[in-house]
Structure 1
Amino acid sequence: MAQQIPISRQARADDPRADAERDDGTHEIAPDLAYRRVVLVNVVFLGAPGAGDRNWTLVDAGIPGSKRAIREAAAARFGEGARPAAIVLTHGHFDHVGVLEDLAAEWDAPIYAHALERPYLDGRAAYPAPDPSVGGGLMARIAPLYPTEPVDVSTRLHTLPADGSVPPMPGWRWLHTPGHSPGHVSFWREADGSLIAGDAFVTTAQESAYAVVTQAPEVHGPPMYLTLDWPAAGGSVRSLAALKPERAVTGHGRPLHGPELRRALDALAQDFERVAVPEGGRYVQTPARAEDGSAYRTP
């Protein structure tokens, strides 16, 4: 049975300001790295406070209805009217692209994503149906209600370079971490061990509405009800654990840091099949993959 790996409070983000919500609703993890939780998902702001126009990057774009919260946080952190150099996506699920079209248009911002995620972002393909049979709580049971249709930002969309660089994020590299979706990526800064993991792993039991509300710190596999390829997801977690990150911010849950983060992530990687993979489910038995086209559904 899938389960969580609880961790101590010592694994919470190392900057004491991360536990204190700023006036703009963000939590700062490092001097140039902050996040804001918008209902059930985190968006990440990369750039120094006061950076100004085109000198920062937004990672992911929240849920529908979160435009005002993201826009106000950006203005407070970087300056009124400061637009991002780009919006960079870990993947294209509804809770990560909820206001992508509106923000990209308002800010006239380019968008970067992995090539395998492009069909969900240029209107060509929808995600396979979510799987409510994986269990774990209310968030899983209501999964059939989650949108799977694509957005169309094709006029602004760019593919992440094959060399691993991230044009609007100097010093960072993208890492292909598939499983939760075919083109899921995480972002890694080796200089200080910072990891933006998206949903490759998360730090709350996202299937449970109670856990989503309480945000008790724990390390957990990707949200089960939308994960398409469990063998690939396990490989992605193992590749991230091998980095030995100093700090990690994920798509859901609180940021974590230090030895306790690494211990928990190692435990998840070493025992992924037992602690993260559900006992049954549509994609446990038959993964949906880019290679055979099963990960792409006609919208």
Structure 2
Amino acid sequence: MDLVDVLPNRLHMLRFPIGQAYLWRDGEALTLVDAGHAGSAAEIEGAIRSLGLLPEHLRRIVLTHCHRDHVGAAGELAARWGASVFAHRLDAPVVRGERPVPEPVLLEWEIPLYEHGLTVPEAPPTRVDRELEDGDALEFGDGAYVVHAPGHTDGSIGIHLPRHGVLFAGDCIAAVGPPMLGVFNVDRGQAVESFRRLAGLAPSVGCFGHGDPLTVDTASVLADAAAGAA
């Protein structure tokens, strides 16, 4: 796992072989956006300690959606350090193991990529302490807001920190190369509309489930990419 500074003393990316998570700091209080794959809890704790921070100050884990490379270590971290786990109402039953992970409608070129992603261990059933809805306010980042962004999964969300210009887009947007619509969607039309909605927030920092964060000309780059998505 690689630890990458995005905003010094505020925001860090934890990059795994497949996917990534983000650590937000409000002083000593910590928020994790997504949680890597199953078995990565020790690496995440080590990354936190390497920053001079304490895992016991992890207050919440916000899941952008129900896929295994985002949920994996959430339950273990929450059980160990008392953090609360948040997920959208529509994905929460999948996170808890009550419903199967929804199957995406794959384009032909996505099939080998999807099979590669399945090499990540399955996420264990994980408790959800708070089910989220569009527009919900979260107590971190000087005011964070939930943006329902369905299409990748029914309960996919973005998290917007307007006072800092930060957007966590989950897998609605990918940035492995120029930003583009994320892959493996259950409803591509919905995903395109969600991409446009998230881009319309005009963030100055874009954080994605796959690919490097975008910190230069972010709003215009995302607006152009969203306009061309189909």
TM-score (norm 2): 0.88
| Secondary structure, counterpart of 1:57 in structure 2 | strand
Residue 88 in structure 1 maps to residue 62 in structure 2: yes
| Secondary structure, counterpart of 1:264 in structure 2 | helix
Evaluate the alpha carbon distance shift between residue 98 and residue 153 of structure 1 in structure 2; reply closer, same or farther with a 3 A threshold.
Answer: closer
Amino acid at match of 2:158: S
| Secondary structure, counterpart of 2:194 in structure 1 | helix
TM-score (norm 1): 0.69
Q: For 1:43-54, what aligned pairs fall within 5 Å after superposition?
A: 43-48=21-26, 51-52=27-28
The match for 2:6 is 29
The match for 1:265 is 222
| Secondary structure, counterpart of 1:183 in structure 2 | coil
Residue 67 in structure 1 maps to residue 41 in structure 2: yes
Evaluate the alpha carbon distance shift between residue 151 and residue 144 of structure 1 in structure 2; reply closer, same or farther with a 3 A threshold.
Answer: closer
Tell me the matched-pair count.
229
Evaluate the alpha carbon distance shift between residue 83 and residue 221 of structure 1 in structure 2; reply closer, same or farther with a 3 A threshold.
Answer: same
Taking the aligned partners of 1:138 and 1:57, their CA distance within structure 2 comes to 33
The match for 2:157 is 185
Question: Larger strand proportion, structure 1 or 2?
Answer: 2
Residue 234 in structure 1 maps to residue 192 in structure 2: yes
| Secondary structure, counterpart of 1:218 in structure 2 | coil
Amino acid at match of 1:232: Q
Instruction: Give the alignment partner of residue 219 of structure 1, picking from 166, 176, 179.
Output: 179
The match for 2:169 is 197
Instruction: Give the alignment partner of residue 20 of structure 2, picking from 42, 54, 57.
Output: 42
Please list the CA deviations of residues 10-63 of structure 1 after superposition, one character each: whole Å capped at 9, or x if unmatched. xxxxxxxxxxxxxx9421211311111011111100005xx43xx111111101
Taking the aligned partners of 1:257 and 1:136, their CA distance within structure 2 comes to 27
Taking the aligned partners of 1:180 and 1:193, their CA distance within structure 2 comes to 23
Root-mean-square deviation (CA, aligned residues, Å) is 2.4
The match for 1:153 is 126
Evaluate the alpha carbon distance shift between residue 137 and residue 130 of structure 1 in structure 2; reply closer, same or farther with a 3 A threshold.
Answer: closer
Taking the aligned partners of 2:90 and 2:52, their CA distance within structure 1 comes to 32
Please list the CA deviations of residues 234-270 of structure 1 after superposition, one character each: whole Å capped at 9, or x if unmatched. 11111111111111110111011232x3333222211
Deviation at 1:169, TM superposition (A): 4.5
Q: For 1:106-145, what aligned pairs fall within 5 Å after superposition?
A: 106-130=80-104, 134-136=108-110, 138-142=112-116
Unaligned runs of 5+ in 1: 1-23, 205-216, 274-299
Taking the aligned partners of 1:256 and 1:27, their CA distance within structure 2 comes to 13
Evaluate the alpha carbon distance shift between residue 27 and residue 229 of structure 1 in structure 2; reply closer, same or farther with a 3 A threshold.
Answer: same
Evaluate the alpha carbon distance shift between residue 144 and residue 130 of structure 1 in structure 2; reply closer, same or farther with a 3 A threshold.
Answer: farther
Taking the aligned partners of 2:154 and 2:221, their CA distance within structure 1 comes to 25
Larger RCO (CA under 8 A, 6+ residues apart)? 1
Taking the aligned partners of 1:120 and 1:151, their CA distance within structure 2 comes to 10
Structure number, greater radius of gyration:
1
Evaluate the alpha carbon distance shift between residue 133 and residue 187 of structure 1 in structure 2; reply closer, same or farther with a 3 A threshold.
Answer: closer
Deviation at 1:123, TM superposition (A): 2.1
Unaligned runs of 5+ in 2: none
